[in-house]
Structure formats: C-alpha cells, structure tokens
Copies of this chain bind each other. A is one copy, B any other.
C-alpha cells in the first residue's frame, strides 16, 4: 500500500485519461477501423520490456549455474587407483562449469546490449525473445558435448548452429525495431542518423554468426583451428577493448571522444550496464545456489520406510542421523550465500549506475559463489577424516575468498568513477564509506584468516570452520557497532595527533590523495581524515 499504491493509482488515472482520448477518437471512427489503425501505428500494442527482461534474466541465471550440478554429483571412487581418474573427471567438469558460466554471461551481456537499444516490445518481439532464450538454454549442453568429446565435431557444430540462429534472431529483432522507431531507445529515436546506428549494430551482431559459420566449416577440415576461432570471436572484443582502456588509464591519457554510436555496442569497460538487470541476474544466481543443496536433500535424503523398519528398528531419528552432514552443509551454505547476497544488496543499493567492468567482476564473483555449496558439502562430509578435512576446509576458504574479493573489486571499480557510479554516502569521505568497506572486506578477511589458521592448526580445521560459520552472521549483525567503535578509537587517536602540526599535515595529505591505489588499512584510516579536514 502507501507509496506503491499511490503511484499505482496515479498510473491508473493517467491510463484512464488516455483511454478517454482513444475512446473519443473511436467514436468518430468505426470500431473496425480503430482496430486496424492501431495495428498500423502499433503504439498502443507496445509494452514496457521490464518483465520480459526480468524473465530472461531468471532463465539465464538458471542456465549459468546449471553445470554445477554434474560437478556436485561426481561420485568419489572407493579405491585409491580410481582417485586419479576421478580428479581428472572433476577437473573437466569444473572447467566446463566455469566456461559455461563465462559463455552464458557473454550471451547475457549481448542480450542486455540488444535491449538497451530496443526499449519497448510488442507481442512479436516477446515471442522472438522466447525463441532466442530457448537456444541460449541449450548452449550448456552443446558445451558439455564439446568438453566430453573434444575430438568429435558434433559439439562444435551444434554450438555454432545455436549461436548462428541466435544471431539471426537478434538481427531480425534489430531490423524489426528500426522499422518501428517508437520501440527504440529515445536517444536513437531523436537522432538524425538512425540508419547509421542500424548498420553499426547489425554489423556488430552479425560478426559473431558469420565467424561461427567459418568455425563450423573449419571444424570439418581442421578441428583445433575452429576452437581457436570460436575463442577469438567470443572473447577478443572484450579483451582488446579492456587492454586499450587499461593502457589509457595507466598512461593517464584521457579517453578519446568518440561519436554517439559508442553508447551502444562498444566493448568499453565503462560502457553503461543496466543496474536493474545486474541485480535481477545476481538475485537469480544467488537464489539457485542457495537452494542447490535442498534440491538434492528433498529428493535423495528421505529414507525408505522398509529400510527404516529393517535396519534402524523403526527409529526414524536414527535413520536420519546418517544424513546429518547434508543438513549441516545446507544450512551453512544457505547462510553463507545469503550473507554474500546481503553484501551484494548493500553494495548495489549505493550504486547509482553500473559499468561493464563492474558487471565483469560481478560475474566472476557469482561464478565462485556457485561452487560454495559443493565445497561446504565436502567439508562437512570429511569432517571426521583427518587426512581430507583440512584440504576441504581450505578449498572452501579459497572459493569464499574469491567470491568476496570480486565483490570488493566491484566497489573498487566503481570508486574509480565514483561521481557517476556511487551514491555520495559511500564515496571517499562519505559517511558510510568505512562501513561499506567493512561489509565487503569481512568475508575475504575471514576466509583468509580461516585458511591460515587451518594451515597452522590442521587437526582443528573442522572446528575452526564451524566456528567461522557461526561467527560471521553475528559479525554482520554487530558490524555497524564494531565499525563505529573502531572509528571512535581512530578519531580519539587523531585528535591526539592533531595537536601537533605534523599530524595536521599528514591528515591533509591523506584527504588529497583519494584517486590512486587502494589499501584496506589505508582507507579505513582515510575516512575520518577526509571528514575531519573538509
């Protein structure tokens, strides 16, 4: 109710006013004419693309995480000699998972590009988009075929086929959109050279399917070359543009002023990215990953009534005790993924605008988040195994560390261009700057700490791990308090320092150098500095 409903009422009234206009018009025309004319101008049948994009994001996020399931269900062999082949198999599956995640993310990025140009949809575009989605969801399977049968060309042919059809559908969407300009982005609508935009966009879109056509032809003659070709097609634009951008940033050169076209279909790291869609995609991935273990538990961890009678003498509790580790792993991973989501959510509340580079770091973070439930499962399973337990705990810590550090990287990337991308509260010197840093740094620090602790005290590794799992949610609850206390201590220290002139000079220096590299302690200290100075 309240805010939401008020706006709904307003919208409703506006709609009614619009309707009055159209009904007045339809009084003068006949009914039949009004139906056909609406088809001709088409305006009234267009729709906001918001929900279509949300649904696409949900589909793509499921597909991105789906290849973690084969990794999860890889069974550990009992015999020592099977272990090697198991490790090879596991490594292949993990590689497939990561590559699928990357490729689906690239497909998602191109989907965002497309619908930054086409901003309104009609029924025809909605149906075309569904067809496109159907093919995207099939990509992980073709990719599995490629990885399992690298010496056959069927996988690459299927993959290229899908990508070509997706490219063609996207081209049809663009042509359809430009033939009905009211569907387009406003900037393109008012622009003089719509035709230039159209050709530029079509050229970028068609590049991929044409290269895929070559790759599929090559796959018949010389298979290895077509793999290389594919990798170039998909990743080169990103890598090339990123290198160019990094070079420009490193040399301190201003980026050259490009024409209008650059706003669409460039591969700049600073190209704008719809913040809404990053959030929707991330929510989807976090939600799937958080529930990944319950999917298995509901299916597999219900004992058979006959087994309970025969093996456990009718005691259901005794029968369920064997599944204890699974439940523990589920609650542990749900809490961790939930808290990582919470950090992500806090960060993006203060992000006003996202860039491609931030999206890239976000994807990396999500890819690691996807591995967390499995690492937790292994850790809980091996908890009484003195040989494997420390390794499993350490693997969990590494994954957790990378998931957290890439979240921190999103923020660092945002800070580079903070005027455009961040809310003033969390910019350098903003009131919540230190608090946000603490939130983002908590998981990487905890993971690092646990890692080194388990290296030192390997026999207590499981206890340390469980202690961490319990401690982190408490830390999040008390975080604002802890940060306030830390800042108060720092401030007391500073006021003591400020009485000497050297301290004041140091403070001024600290407040001035806010654009360069970024060290954690450095920053925690800098916040009160800048605030005191300004």
Chain A contacts to B: CB under 8 angstroms: 1-6, 8, 11-12, 15-16, 19, 22-23, 26, 31-32, 34-36, 38-39, 44-45, 47-48, 51-52, 54-55, 58-59, 62-63, 66-67, 69-70, 73, 116, 119, 123-124, 126-127, 130, 133-134, 137-138, 140-141, 144-145, 148-149, 152, 154, 185-189, 263-264, 272, 274-276, 279-280, 283-284, 286-288, 290-291, 294-295, 297-299, 301-303, 305, 308, 316-317, 320, 330-331, 334-335, 338-339, 341-342, 345-346, 348-349, 352-353, 423-425, 430-432, 473, 476-477, 479-480, 484, 487-488, 491, 528, 531-532
Q: Are A58 and B284 in contact (CB under 8 A)?
A: yes
Interface pairs (15), CB distance under 8 Å: A2-B185, A2-B187, A3-B186, A8-B275, A15-B424, A16-B424, A31-B431, A51-B283, A58-B287, A66-B294, A73-B299, A124-B477, A126-B342, A134-B334, A141-B298
Question: Which residue, of A8, A15, A39, A55, has the highest number of chain B Cβ atoms within 10 A?
Answer: A55
Question: Which residue, of A73, A134, A301, A320, has the highest number of chain B Cβ atoms within 10 A?
Answer: A134
Q: Are A59 and B290 in contact (CB under 8 A)?
A: yes
Q: Are A2 and B127 in contact (CB under 8 A)?
A: no
Q: With CB as the reference atom, state the residue of chain B lying closest to A288.
A: B62
Cα A44 to Cα B32 with chains together (Å):
55
Given contacts A3-B119, A8-B275, A148-B305, 7 further A-B contacts (CB under 8 A): A3-B186, A12-B353, A15-B352, A16-B424, A62-B295, A126-B342, A140-B294
Q: Are B130 and A26 in contact (CB under 8 A)?
A: no
Cα A474 to Cα B217 with chains together (Å):
32
A299-B69, A424-B19, A431-B26 are contacts. A1–B334 as well, Cβ < 8 Å?
no
Cα A295 to Cα B291 with chains together (Å):
14
Point out the residue from B4, B137, B291 that lies within 8 Å of A59, measured CB to CB.
B291
Cα A388 to Cα B381 with chains together (Å):
43
Cα A44 to Cα B349 with chains together (Å):
12
Point out the residue from B34, B54, B58 that lies within 8 Å of A431, measured CB to CB.
B34
Q: With CB as the reference atom, state the residue of chain B lying closest to A126.
A: B342
Q: Are B298 and A62 in contact (CB under 8 A)?
A: no
Q: Are A8 and B149 in contact (CB under 8 A)?
A: no
Q: Are A35 and B431 in contact (CB under 8 A)?
A: yes
Cα A349 to Cα B152 with chains together (Å):
47
Task: For A3, list chain B residues within 8 Å (CB).
Answer: 119, 186
Point out the residue from B1, B35, B341, B487 that lies within 8 Å of A116, measured CB to CB.
B1
Cα A430 to Cα B149 with chains together (Å):
57
Q: Are B291 and A352 in contact (CB under 8 A)?
A: no
Q: Are B335 and A51 in contact (CB under 8 A)?
A: no
Q: Are B263 and A1 in contact (CB under 8 A)?
A: yes
Cα A35 to Cα B491 with chains together (Å):
12
Cα A290 to Cα B284 with chains together (Å):
14
Closest Cβ–Cβ distance, residue A263 to chain B (whole Å):
6
Q: Are B123 and A480 in contact (CB under 8 A)?
A: yes
Q: Are A345 and B297 in contact (CB under 8 A)?
A: no
Task: For A532, list chain B residues within 8 Å (CB).
Answer: 31
Task: For A432, list chain B residues within 8 Å (CB).
Answer: 45
Closest Cβ–Cβ distance, residue A480 to chain B (whole Å):
7
Task: For A279, list chain B residues within 8 Å (CB).
Answer: 51, 54
Closest Cβ–Cβ distance, residue A473 to chain B (whole Å):
7
Cα A161 to Cα B274 with chains together (Å):
42
Q: Are A346 and B123 in contact (CB under 8 A)?
A: yes
Q: Are B294 and A1 in contact (CB under 8 A)?
A: no
Q: Are A134 and B480 in contact (CB under 8 A)?
A: no
Point out the residue from B154, B294, B316 that lies within 8 Å of A138, measured CB to CB.
B294
Cα A201 to Cα B72 with chains together (Å):
43
Closest Cβ–Cβ distance, residue A31 to chain B (whole Å):
4
Task: For A335, list chain B residues within 8 Å (CB).
Answer: 130, 134
Task: For A346, list chain B residues within 8 Å (CB).
Answer: 123
Q: With CB as the reference atom, state the residue of chain B lying closest to A133.
A: B338
Cα A119 to Cα B1 with chains together (Å):
9
Closest Cβ–Cβ distance, residue A306 to chain B (whole Å):
11
Q: With CB as the reference atom, state the residue of chain B lying closest to A20.
A: B424
Task: For A283, list chain B residues within 8 Å (CB).
Answer: 51, 54-55, 58
Cα A348 to Cα B8 with chains together (Å):
13
Q: Are A32 and B290 in contact (CB under 8 A)?
A: no
Question: Which residue, of A34, A59, A263, A275, has the highest number of chain B Cβ atoms within 10 A?
Answer: A59
